[in-house]
Every structure is written in structure tokens, then in C-alpha cells.
Copies of this chain bind each other. A is one copy, B any other.
Amino acid sequence: MTDPARELNRLRASIDNLDAVLLHTLAERFKVTEAVGRLKAENDMPPADPAREARQIGRLRQLADESGLDPAFAEKFLNFIVAEVIRHHEQLRGDAVAKRNSETD
């Protein structure tokens, strides 16, 4: 039988690898949502799009189901990410307002 402490280290190394994938993918995802935020701001497009969000949730729930994940978790996960995206967009808007104010002052 394998040594449990050694097996634990082996599994933990996989978790660390997967966490690096998750973090770098999230970093890339925020770069894209930032581009979306800029595009929408520059073209006076509405920031929220409920139909798109509903499609995203449906798609993620299905992907979760196919991957053996709880679809409710997938939805929670998307909400968690979207909350962070909104925080980023608010920061960008705050920066833009500050810039405009400093330009008109």
C-alpha cells in the first residue's frame, strides 16, 4: 500500500497545479471583461444585459452537469465572479469620473 502522507503530497501538488490554472484563467477572464466594460462605455451600450446573463447561467449549469459538478454551485460561482467584475467596472467608472473632473477643473 502507498504511504498516505506521500499520497497526500501527490494529491496536494495536483490541487496546487489546478489552482494555478484557475487563477491564470481568471486573470485572463478579467482582462476580457475589462475590454467589454471599455467597449460598452465608449459606445454607450447598457452595462447590464439580463438576456446574456440568463444564457450564461443556463450554459454553465449544463457544463457543470456534464462535468459532474453541482449546477447550483456553477451558478453560485458565476455570481461570485460577476460580483468581482462589477467591482472592477465601478472602479473604472470611478477613475473615469475622477479623470473627467480633473480635466474640467
Residues of A within 8 A of B (CB): 4, 7-8, 11-12, 14-16, 18-33, 35-36, 39-40, 42-43, 45, 52, 56, 59-60, 63-64, 67-69, 73-74, 77-78, 80, 84
Chain B hits for A7, CB < 8 A: 39
B22, B59, B68: the one within 8 Å of A22 (CB): B22
- A85 → chain B closest CB, angstroms: 10
Nearest B residue to A18, CB-CB: B29
Query: Considering the chains assembled together, what is the distance between the CA atoms of A43 and B8 in angstroms?
Result: 11
- A49 → chain B closest CB, angstroms: 9
Report copies per complex: 2
Verify A60–B25 contact, CB threshold 8 A: no
Chain B hits for A52, CB < 8 A: 12
Query: Considering the chains assembled together, what is the distance between the CA atoms of A55 and B69 in angstroms?
Result: 27
Query: Considering the chains assembled together, what is the distance between the CA atoms of A67 and B19 in angstroms?
Result: 13
Contacts known (A4-B45, A12-B52, A33-B15); A23 close to B84, Cβ less than 8 A: no
